[in-house]
Amino acid sequence: MESKSSNEAEASVIANNKIHFSKEVKHVIDKVLKSDDPMDAPDFNCVDYINQLFPNEQSLVTIDETIQRMQCEVSLIDDNIRSVVRGQTNTGQDGQLALCEAQKVISTLYEHIIDVKTRAERTEEMVKEITRDIKQLDCAKRNLTSAITTLNHLHMLVGGIESLEILIEKRLYGEILNPLQAITEVNQHFQQYSDIEEIKNLSQSVDKIQISLAHQITEDFKEAFSVKKSNNHPRLGFNQLGDACKVISVLDPKVKKDLLKWFIAQQLEEYIHLFHENQDIAWLDKIDKRYAWLKRHLLDFEDKFGAVFPLDWEVSERITVEFCRLTREQLSQIMSKRVNEIDVRLLLFAINKTQAFEQLLSKRFTGVTLGINNDNQNTSSFTSGDGQLINSAFLVFHDQIGSCFKTHLDIYIRSIDRNLAELIEKFVEQAKEPFKAAEAKSTVYPSSADLFVFYKKCMVQCNQLSNEQPMYELALVFKKYLREYASKVLEFSIPKLLTTSTSIGKSMSLLTRDMQNLSTAAGQVIHNFLKEGDAQRFSKGDLIRICCVLTTAEYCLETVQQLEDKLKEKVAAAYVNKIDMSEEKDVFHRIISNCIQLLVQDLETGCESFLQAMSKVQWQSISNVGDQSSFITGMCANFKQTVPVIRDNLASSRKYFTQFCHKFVNVFIPKYINVLYKCKLTLSDGCNNVLGCEQLLLDTHSLKTALLDLPSIGSSVNRKAPTSYTKVVVKDMTRAEMIIKVVMTPVQPSAHFTQQVLKLLPDITIAEYQKILDMKAVKRVDQLQLIDLFKRTASTAAAAGLSDNTDSISTDADQQNSTANALDSTNDNINIMADATSTEISTYQTNLAVNATSTPKRAFIFSVGNFTGANSSAGDKNADNSSQSSGDRGRIRKLENLLKKRLP
């Protein structure tokens, strides 16, 4: 009973305590025991499994078969478990037997190891016993060998000292070399025995021999190369001196250094006296004689003494290096004392001769005495006098002499400044000459090319002299005369029109003819001359000259950028960030903008008289509609006369011609609309003259066609106008046509008229609406009612379309005044936009629309277009004869976009 209860308790513990494996263990089990059975899944749910097997009542028919299959599987699993459990009953006994066997094998292995170790120790003792006598003999042999070697060295040292003293006394330097090298090496061997007195004395004797030998050879060299002959002993021959040089190579390096220093100074002694600063030959104008002297001297030296000195001594190069140092110091001293006598020609002459000489030296010598390793040289290059690039690795003598000129390169910069001043004056004189357009081979002034060619030559020359501070100062001079050229040549060349005050001054004689009618005559004369001043225009030659100035400024603008890049490339790294020509580029930008503005003003002035004629036409009395009016024909003739001249002369600057066209239409079309508002189209009975409106509409359409054709007018090549230009013309001229259509619409009924205004002119302001009413000769009392209706209609439409973005709009007189001020501000903005480029125009308009929310609330409403299709007319067309959008949804969306831009 007790065993049964314990088994039940154990089973309950196993049942209650589930075994949980980690994810890694589960993953390994899944790999080893792969199974597709859903019951093997870790998240198995028996209810879901049963529902899956029997999803409906009909499936319960197979329940008996399923239960039978499950029972078979359970029986099979029980059998497997039973066989596994029975197989594990003998596992404990087998493991115990295996453990005992392993312990026995380990004990046997340990005994074998102990036995091997004991035998090894015995063997080692036997080897030591056998080799003990051999080691003693080997040590004795080494000691004996060392003693014999030391005795031999000692014998060599003692005998060598005695023989060296004899050879030194006889000056047999060819026989001294080998014993001296041997004694020097032996002496180094005995340094470890310097504590022994005898060895120390021998070492001191060797040092004394070396010192006396160095002194004797030095004296022999001085005797051999001295002018006066000594009677003590004969001079040594060149062969003996050559052997003496080999001996010196073995001695202390300081001996060789001191000897070469004395010898080089002795060789250059003549040069120092000959080219002393007090001598005439020492001045810069005879600097080539210095270099000629060195060439002759080196040739003489190598012929006479080339065999004396070893090649590795590089005596010729050392003489040359010292010559360069002396020359640099002498030239620096003499130039500092006679700086007032240096002019740029003399300075450049000396620099050119020096650079040529340094290049010659760089080809002749390796520069090893200067500590230069050609393998480690950078790959920068210098430009030689003939324009060839020479790698700096081969210019080892670069600036060895020429560095003395760098402190005086300000003379060169001042000379460039003077030359450029003279060149600019020459260009100014050329600019004062009458401009002959027919003889001009190019629209770019030749003087601009001459200026930049001179700049290039100066930059190349200065780069040869120095690419540091002088190059930066040269860049400052370039900047100065670029501004001078822009102001004195280009801006001076722009034609000027006579001012109104000049015309009045010329008419003073007319003002004094009749003193009795002074006031009337003066007023009339001033009016006439003001009118004449307004009508002044440029001639064809003036237009061509303006175009030439524009293209020249464009050429200068592009070339200045290239010049700036080249200067930054040539100048030293420390000065790269200091070179900036943005101000000069801005000057040429301004000249281009001014030229375009003058061309626009001239074309606009040519249209003034025709616009005035348009405003004086009695439109209310026109009885029939014919061809376009004479003022439109006159404006088209003005376009055909002026635009081709500008286009042909801006053929190489197409972008600026397009900019000119953009600016013109942005100025001209608003002016045309303002004149359009002044036209009277109402008959005496208060009705509109439909024929006058139709004629004006025809003229506006003709002008629109002429403006669309403006870029290619009078050209044999039919080139399509830029899309941005076409959009501006179509948009603004369509507005002018819509204004005429609004005027053609009857005022009554007023609701229909208001809706038609909002439909044709969605973005109309109250001030513009009032101008339309003035064109229709509506009385002031009726205007107030129409304006009030217009506001209510627009407010209702705005509230329906954009209730979240609109506010109530008051109708008092103060807000009407603010409306007029806002209109004036808008006109000012249009004038500003006319001066900008086409890109700047679109940017300005976008900013204006975005910033509209920050302006004070305006007392006018922009149109609301949530009208039905019944208000659209079949005759409502765009200027290019394409029908407007006919869908209500499209019109409402367009209206919402406009309101978002316009309403505060």
Q: What is the pLDDT of residue 232?
A: 58
Cα separation, 625 vs 698, in Å, equals 9
Span 859-874, average pLDDT: 32
Q: Which of 676, 818, 688, 677 is nearest to 753 (CA)?
A: 688
Q: Which of 639, 620, 619 is nearest to 629 (CA)?
A: 619
Does the pLDDT value for residue 5 go beyond 60?
A: no
Cα separation, 166 vs 818, in Å, equals 123
> What residues contact 734, with CB distance under 8 A and at least 6 apart?
704, 878, 879
Does the pLDDT value for residue 261 go beyond 80?
A: yes
The conformation of residue 383, written as its DSSP 8-state character, comes to E
Q: What is the pLDDT of residue 386?
A: 42
What band does 194 get if pLDDT is binned at 50, 70 and 90? Answer: low
Highest mean pLDDT among 511-520, 540-549, 803-812: 540-549
pLDDT in tens, 278-288: 888 888 888 88
pLDDT in tens, 380-413: 444 444 444 444 444 678 888 888 888 888 899 9
Cα-Cα-Cα-Cα dihedral sign, residues 559, 561, 564, 569: negative
Cα angle, residue 643 at apex, residues 637 and 645 outer, rounded to 5°: 110
Q: Which two tokens stand for residue 893?
A: 């969306």
Cα separation, 260 vs 276, in Å, equals 23
Cα separation, 301 vs 672, in Å, equals 94
Question: For residue 236, which phi and psi values (nearest 5 degrees)?
Answer: -80, 150
Q: What is the pLDDT of residue 185?
A: 63
Q: What is the pLDDT of residue 583?
A: 93
Contact yes or no for 427/492 (Cβ under 8 A) = no
User: Helices marked H in 275-343 — which ranges?
Assistant: 287-305, 315-337
Cα-Cα-Cα-Cα dihedral sign, residues 418, 424, 427, 432: negative
Beta bridge mates, 383: 389
Does the pLDDT value for residue 826 go beyond 70?
A: no
Q: Which of 551, 738, 573 is nearest to 652 (CA)?
A: 551
pLDDT in tens, 40-55: 777 778 888 888 888 8
Q: Which of 750, 707, 713, 744 is nearest to 726 (CA)?
A: 707
Higher per-residue confidence, 689 vs 370: 370
Cα separation, 751 vs 155, in Å, equals 140
Cα-Cα-Cα-Cα dihedral sign, residues 256, 259, 263, 269: positive
Cα separation, 686 vs 36, in Å, equals 98
Tokens 């015995």, residue? 122
Distances (CA, A) of 887 to 882, 884, 892: 15, 9, 9
Tokens 């006679």, residue? 338
Q: What is the pLDDT of residue 893?
A: 53
Q: Which two tokens stand for residue 508?
A: 């003073």
Q: Is 300 helix (H, G, I), strand (E, B) or coil?
A: helix
Distances (CA, A) of 781 to 223, 683, 784, 875: 130, 19, 5, 32
Cα separation, 551 vs 435, in Å, equals 15
Tokens 């001769």, residue? 353
711-727 core/surface letters (b: 16 or more CB in 10 A; e: else) = bbbeeeeeeebbeebee
Contact yes or no for 545/438 (Cβ under 8 A) = no
Q: Is 671 helix (H, G, I), strand (E, B) or coil?
A: helix
For all residues of the chain together, what is the average pLDDT? 74
Q: What is the pLDDT of residue 592?
A: 94
What band does 4 get if pLDDT is binned at 50, 70 and 90? Answer: very low
Distances (CA, A) of 548 to 346, 555, 649: 41, 10, 7
**Within 10 Å of residue 441's Cβ, how many Cβ atoms?**
6
Q: Is 697 helix (H, G, I), strand (E, B) or coil?
A: helix
pLDDT in tens, 550-604: 999 999 999 999 999 999 999 989 999 999 999 999 999 999 999 999 999 999 9
What band does 659 get if pLDDT is binned at 50, 70 and 90? Answer: very high
Contact yes or no for 389/383 (Cβ under 8 A) = yes
Span 327-354, average pLDDT: 89
Question: For residue 257, which phi and psi values (nearest 5 degrees)?
Answer: -60, -45
Span 819-845, average pLDDT: 35
Span 848-867, average pLDDT: 31
Q: What is the pLDDT of residue 379?
A: 39
Give the lowest-confidence range in 219-233, 645-659, 715-729: 219-233
Does the pLDDT value for residue 538 go beyond 80?
A: yes
Share of the chain above pLDDT 70, in %: 69
Cα separation, 153 vs 160, in Å, equals 10
Q: What is the pLDDT of residue 669?
A: 92
Amino acid at 247: V
Contact yes or no for 554/653 (Cβ under 8 A) = yes
Q: What is the pLDDT of residue 531?
A: 43
Q: What is the pLDDT of residue 877?
A: 37
Contact yes or no for 240/295 (Cβ under 8 A) = no
Q: Which of 328, 398, 390, 397 is nearest to 365 (CA)?
A: 397
pLDDT in tens, 123-182: 888 888 888 777 777 777 777 776 676 666 665 555 556 666 666 666 666 666 666 666
Half-sphere exposure of 486 (CA within 13 A, CB side): 24
What band does 367 get if pLDDT is binned at 50, 70 and 90? Answer: confident
Does the pLDDT value for residue 502 go beyond 70?
A: no
Q: Which two tokens stand for residue 31?
A: 């790999």
Q: Render 874-893 in DSSP notation, one character per residue.
A: TT-B-TTSPBPP--HHHHHH
Q: Which two tokens stand for residue 51?
A: 């529902």
Cα separation, 100 vs 107, in Å, equals 11
Preceding peptide of 749 cis, ω within 30°: yes
Highest mean pLDDT among 23-37, 296-310, 471-485: 471-485
Tokens 């001045």, residue? 283
Helix (H) or strand (E) holding 389: strand 389-391
269-295 core/surface letters (b: 16 or more CB in 10 A; e: else) = eebeeebeeeeeebbbeebbebbebbe
Does the pLDDT value for residue 31 go beyond 60?
A: yes
pLDDT in tens, 63-103: 888 888 888 988 888 888 888 777 777 677 777 888 888 88
Q: Which two tokens stand for residue 730?
A: 């179509």
Q: What is the pLDDT of residue 565?
A: 93
Contact yes or no for 283/338 (Cβ under 8 A) = yes
The conformation of residue 18, written as its DSSP 8-state character, comes to -
